[in-house]
């Protein structure tokens, strides 16, 4: 095994009820952030739990830092696991929540390590004396991350850390988490539902569907050049259009004088420059992301930048 491969999963299989994961294989290197991306129910969290030792595999191997960890308990795997629901203790303030794993180990430097960790996470220092019920959603998430990363570990596993956060906090959390993970310089495997999160945070992504990997690579490259309709759909939070025998995303259009005619039926602002529009295209309804300056005429011409043809 290459010394920089912190995690190696070989032909891993697991079952949960009638759902079957795998066999799947993946690698994650030191200083690399690897995302598991796919819709809910595709097996991302099950795979993460199998890597962590929280789900017994039915086949395959898990290697962490060069050691066969398949039969090891979660505590023996030397990992940090940030759960989706944060799992922080409601009766402890932020300081003691972060210090908890150090207290268990009777670490004499616990106080200093907590203060240092809080400084790494912008804003957390201001909430060290607050109970979880008094914390904003973003600070609760930072508390959970700080508690798991305040001690030594080989690998960080994160289960949908940006879920249930509003758009503004979500964008802030992406920046904070990316910054923290870069400072830590550790191997990270993170479960995500949103391709925008993957493109903002991950170095590499494994795209999942029905318990299997259907693509892997740089998330920005996969978004720009999806290898299949399935990957295009997963990388389109706005959905896809199916017109005649072609499939395209709402954002894969541009205004062009020599393009095809559209009629804009309804529009609503998407951001400061674009609007999400319901249009008629080739005599069928479609959704397109168009420049705000182009929607006032209610008609226009567009070209499709990227399409797939269905057989």
pLDDT tens for 54-76 read: 999 999 999 999 899 999 998 88
- Continuous segment of H or E residues that includes residue 189: strand 187-192
Q: Give tens-digit pLDDT for 23-58.
A: 999 999 988 999 999 988 899 999 999 999 999 999
pLDDT of residue 2: 45
Map out the domains of the chain as residue ranges.
5-230, 242-309
Length of the chain: 311
Q: Which fold has domain 242-309?
A: OB fold (Dihydrolipoamide Acetyltransferase, E2P) (2.40.50)
Q: Give tens-digit pLDDT for 145-166.
A: 888 888 878 888 998 888 777 7
Q: Which fold has domain 5-230?
A: Rossmann fold (3.40.50)
Helix axes 167-184, 137-149, angle to 10 degrees: 20
**Rounded to 5 degrees, what are φ and ψ at 290?**
-125, 155
Band of the pLDDT at 275, cuts 50, 70, 90? very high
- The pTM for the full model equals 0.83
- Do 5-230 and 242-309 share a fold? no
In the predicted model, is pLDDT for residue 272 greater than 90? no
Q: Give tens-digit pLDDT for 212-227.
A: 999 999 999 999 889 9
- Continuous segment of H or E residues that includes residue 112: helix 110-120
Token look-up 């993460």 returns: 48
The DSSP code for 76 is: G
């Amino acid at each position: 095994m290459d010394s920089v491969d912190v995690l190696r999963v070989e032909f891993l299989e697991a079952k949960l009820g009638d759902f079957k994961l795998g066999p799947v294989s993946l690698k994650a290197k030191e200083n690399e952030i690897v995302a598991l991306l796919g819709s809910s129910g595709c097996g991302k969290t099950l795979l993460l739990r199998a890597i962590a030792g929280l789900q017994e595999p039915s086949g395959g191997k898990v290697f962490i830092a060069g050691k066969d960890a398949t039969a090891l308990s979660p505590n023996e795997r030397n990992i940090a696991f940030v759960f989706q629901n944060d799992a922080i203790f409601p009766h402890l303030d932020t300081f003691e929540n972060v210090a908890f794993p150090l207290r268990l180990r009777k670490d004499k430097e616990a106080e200093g390590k907590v203060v240092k960790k809080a400084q790494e996470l912008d804003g957390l220092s201001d909430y060290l004396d607050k109970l979880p019920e008094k914390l904003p959603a973003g600070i609760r998430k930072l508390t959970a991350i700080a508690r798991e990363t305040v001690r030594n570990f080989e690998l960080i596993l994160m289960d949908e850390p940006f879920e249930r956060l509003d758009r503004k906090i979500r964008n802030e959390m992406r920046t904070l988490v990316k910054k923290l993970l870069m400072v830590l310089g550790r191997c990270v495997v993170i479960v995500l539902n949103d391709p925008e999160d993957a493109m903002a945070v991950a170095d590499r992504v494994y795209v999942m569907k029905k318990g299997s990997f259907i693509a892997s690579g740089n998330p920005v490259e996969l978004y720009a050049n999806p290898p299949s309709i399935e990957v295009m759909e997963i990388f389109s939070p706005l959905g896809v259009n199916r017109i005649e025998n072609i499939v395209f995303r709402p954002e894969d259009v541009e205004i062009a004088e020599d393009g095809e005619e559209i009629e804009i039926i309804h529009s609503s602002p998407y951001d400061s420059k674009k609007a999400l529009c319901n249009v008629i295209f080739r005599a069928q309804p479609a959704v397109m992301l168009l420049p705000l300056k182009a929607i006032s005429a209610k008609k226009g011409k567009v070209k499709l930048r990227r399409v797939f043809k269905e057989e």
